[in-house]
Amino acid sequence: MTYRRRRADASAHDRDRDRDRDRDRDRGRFRARDRTRTRDRAHDRSRSRSRDRARSRSRTRDRARDRGQVAIEYLGFIPVLLIVGLAGFQIGAVAYAAEQAGTAARAGARAASLRQSYAQACADAVSGGITVSCSSAEGADAVTVTATVHIPRIVWDLGNATKSATMPLDH
């Protein structure tokens, strides 16, 4: 029952008190007779706090055990991570060798089309530390040079990278 439904002759003080109580009830606050429930809840909270402390001690022990387990799992994962990283480097080495073979083939074909030494041009075109072998095939009006570069071994030996380039003969 709200304060509006009370007797019309109630005093202003009573109406204000009733209005405040109804508003507090609507907002979820406890009325005076519910205070005993509040005390019971406070007692339950203190009991649950002691249970929580005991649980937190056992959780601390569990976390210490978990830390050791996580370290072992991490050690098991490191070799996989290392192989993946090295495979990335190996793929980079394959791409680098293919690029060097293409550069050597183009340089050798350019030199052969000008009737110069294609083998020297192939060797000069690659970076230091990489060996290249070139072969030439001359046609009626074009020359084709094939360059072969050994792929550097980081983890696996993947063989050779071979590229060809064709240039018209310069008459």
**CA distance to 1, 24, 39, 41, per residue, from 33 (Å):** 17, 13, 11, 14
pLDDT tens-digit readout, 120-135: 999 999 988 888 999 9
pLDDT tens-digit readout, 2-42: 545 555 555 777 778 777 777 777 776 555 555 555 555 65
Residue 165 tokens read as: 């380039």
User: Measured between alpha carbons, how far is 125 from 132 in angstroms, rounded to an integer?
Assistant: 9
- Do residues 102 and 165 touch, judged by C-beta distance below 8 A? yes
pLDDT tens-digit readout, 97-155: 999 999 999 999 999 999 999 999 999 999 888 889 999 998 889 999 999 999 998 88
pLDDT tens-digit readout, 57-96: 666 666 666 667 777 888 889 999 999 999 999 999 999 9
* Sheet strands side by side (includes 132-138): 132-138, 142-150, 160-168
Burial of 4 by CB count in 10 Å (0-12 exposed, 13-18 middle, 19+ buried)?
exposed
- Exposure b/e, 68-88, CB count within 10 A at least 16 = b: eeeeeeeeeeeeeeeeeeeee
pLDDT tens-digit readout, 41-58: 655 566 666 667 666 766
Query: Which amino acid belongs to residue 138?
Result: E
